[in-house]
Amino acid sequence: KKRQRGCFHMQPPVPNGRGRIPISGVGGQDGHIPACAAHPRPGGRRPQQLSMSLGPFVPGCHCQQVPPNGGEVAAVVTQEFFDGIVNHVDGEFPGKRFYTRSAFLEALTSFPGFGRAGDPDGSKREIAAFFAHVTHETGHLRFVEEICDASRRYWDEKRAGEYPCAAGKSYHGRGPLQLTWNYNYGAAGESIGFDGLGSPETVAEDPVVAFKTALWYWMEKVHPLLAAGGGFGATIRAINGGECGGGSPKAVARRVRFYLEYCQRFGVAPGDNLTC
């Protein structure tokens, strides 16, 4: 299922010089969350705990133990880096007050496998990839909710038996990766602990929940691709396959440009297979 949100893809904003990260680099069909994501398994196992387990196996546990990564990621995602995204353009926008580094780091504690895609360079590439997509989807963290096609509710009736839509609720894009469709809200809610179907607006009201939905989807559908050695192009296909294969070359180019910017900022080579 793909939601049509092409009008969200705007031209890159004109930088104001305060927050831009300089670089010489490349310069639904819309940034939806594309696939039906899994919900908690029997025994309380959550998908993100199974996606990338690098720690030692503990007898009696359903999954391997992953040491906390908060300090390591925080050293990469500094306040300066985060502010550089937010302050890329002038003006007041909803996301500028909503998205904060502290909310991201708090959400991160629920996803210890994030930023652990292989060696240290691979981990930095994963962080760069995540924020490249977040930057693209939110227009440099300016927007919390989808800015067009607001009349659509994004109800997938074929999945309504498993994830029933609540009367009067809309499952349009919200949050850093623009979570969309009833089945994704339902699965995300079950996994991270909020009423995704009954109160989808929570994603636009609570910044920690917003970042948790983005990290939840990332660990389910994107992180395993990087852990298996896939390049940035594979992450584009996982986030929005409709852009690939000539579907939206400008959108792909923008995602790649942001990724290259952040890789340079983190001092890591971007790797191969950048496009899709």
Question: Distance between CA atoms of 204 and 115, rounded to whole angstroms?
Answer: 25
126 catalytic? Reply is: no
Which neighbouring-strand residues pair with 145?
Answer: 174
Give the span between the Cα atoms of 73 and 176, in whole angstroms: 17
In angstroms, what CA-CA distances link 193 with 85, 171, 181, 209?
28, 17, 18, 9
CA-atom Rg of the chain in angstroms: 18
CA distance 258 to 129: 8
Spell out the alpha helix ranges (H) of the chain: 47-51, 70-76, 79-86, 94-98, 101-108, 120-138, 182-192, 202-205, 207-217, 223-227, 232-240, 249-266
Catalytic residue among 137, 145, 220, 243: 137
Q: Cα 142 to the chain's mean position, in Å?
A: 15
Which tokens hold the place of 143? 């927007």
* Nearest of 266, 4, 251 to residue 139 by alpha carbon: 251
What is the Cα–Cα distance from 90 to 157, expressed in whole angstroms? 41
Residue 1 CB burial class (10 angstroms; 0-12, 13-18, ≥19): middle
156 and 183 Cβ atoms separated by less than 8 Å: yes
Give the catalytic positions in this structure: 137
